[in-house]
Structure 1
Amino acid sequence: MKTFVIYDIEEDRVRNKILEACKGYGLEHVQYSAFFGELGHNRREELKLRLKKTLGRKRGKILVFPVCEKDLRLLENICNWQELPEDD
């Protein structure tokens, strides 16, 4: 199922670990603090546990939510600038 991960984390080190975890699970970087991609139930649960452990007691918020195909078809992309550059 398609999954969004959106986060707001104050500490750079923790935020970078969250970014790397999302990339490691094959999610695409779609905004500065947002990732999107295909994750099955088990992989999504694994990622949630990893993100929760990474955040620990640091200040921040992470949203992990699946999106069904029907709802995804309603997605609208309104953009007035270039896509984010690929990370090397």
Structure 2
Amino acid sequence: MRLVPTLLQDPRKAGQPTLVLYDVQDDKRRTRVMNACKDYGLARWQYSAYQGKLTGTARRELETRLERALGDSAGLIAILQLEQWQVDDATIIFQEAANGD
């Protein structure tokens, strides 16, 4: 049982913008991927994507943990390190669902 998450990276440390995208079929392994992202302070961006800033060390640790989480199950995990200008220059189109949708 996970009561209080322990962040594995100090959120005050500078890091590179990072985007983690995944498509993991096995529910148990997908949960491990989600928990790993949360443990490193990444925020859910959409159902199968997390984003935040990671130091180089934290990113390498997360990569290892995600590789173990996927194991030999079918799936894909992409870890994209971005430059800040790419985040600043991104176009994001978002609209809340209307009530009843």
TM-based fold match above 0.5: yes
Displacement of 1:11: 0.7
User: CA deviation digits over 1:45-78, x for unaligned, max 9?
Assistant: 0000000011011000000011101111111110
Higher-RCO chain (CA-CA 8 Å, sequence separation at least 6): 1
Aligned length: 82
Distance 2:93 2:85 in 1: 19
Q: What is the SS of the residue equivalent to 2:72?
A: coil
Note the aligned Cα RMSD (angstroms): 0.9
Distance 1:69 1:9 in 2: 28
Q: Where in structure 1 are there 5+ consecutive unaligned residues?
A: 83-88
Aligned residue in 2 for 1:64: 79
Aligned residue in 2 for 1:4: 19
Scaled by the length of structure 2, the TM-score of the pair is 0.78
How much identity, in percent, do the aligned residues show? 34
Aligned residue in 2 for 1:16: 31
Scaled by the length of structure 1, the TM-score of the pair is 0.89
Distance 2:88 2:44 in 1: 19
Displacement of 1:19: 0.3
Displacement of 1:7: 0.1
Displacement of 1:80: 1.7
- Give the number of the structure whose alpha-carbon radius of gyration is greater: 2
Q: What is the SS of the residue equivalent to 1:75?
A: coil
